Amino acid sequence: GAVVSQHPSWVICKSGTSVKIECRSLDFQATTMFWYRQFPKQSLMLMATSNEGSKATYEQGVEKDKFLINHASLTLSTLTVTSAHPEDSSFYICSARVWGGSNQPQHFGDGTRLSIL
């Protein structure tokens, strides 16, 4: 089945640091990947849609200069949290759909737990 790998799984860093999270589709190509944020005991909130070879589409209220997204290939999207602060601490999850599989569910990575001290 379709596998999405996310790295790292857990990162703790000091305030002001930039943190990069990788999302890879291991056995399929994904022209579109999605980035979500989930606070404790809350649902997933879509942050942005990452499009291969073009700019990401950000949801309302998400700062594009804060959360940099790069989708350089059909199997890799990266999310960089720039100058992270404690309020950015959250569980970040990426997902991808099999290319051309619009009726298929999104396949989710294992998530990255980000803790900013």
Partner 1 sequence: ELKVEQNPLFLSMQEGKNYTIYCNYSTTSDRLYWYRQDPGKSLESLFVLLSNGAVKQEGRLMASLDTKARLSTLHITAAVHDLSATYFCAVDIRYTGNQFYFGTGTSLTVIP
Where on the chain is the footprint of partner 1 (CB under 8 A)?
Answer: 6, 32, 34, 41-46, 49, 57, 93, 95, 97, 102-111, 113
The Cα 111–Cα 95 span in angstroms is 9
Task: Tell me how far, at minimum, the Cβ of 106 lies from partner 1, in Å.
Answer: 6
Nearer to partner 1, 53 or 102 (CB): 102
R_g over Cα of the chain: 13
**Residue with smaller CB distance to partner 1, 13 or 45:** 45
Give the whole-angstrom CA distance, residue 11 versus residue 97: 26
CB of 24 to partner 1, least distance (A): 14
Q: Contact 45/109 with Cβ under 8 angstroms?
A: no
Q: CB nearer to partner 1: give 14 or 54.
A: 54
> What does the angle CA 78 – CA 80 – CA 85 come to, to the nearest 5 degrees?
150
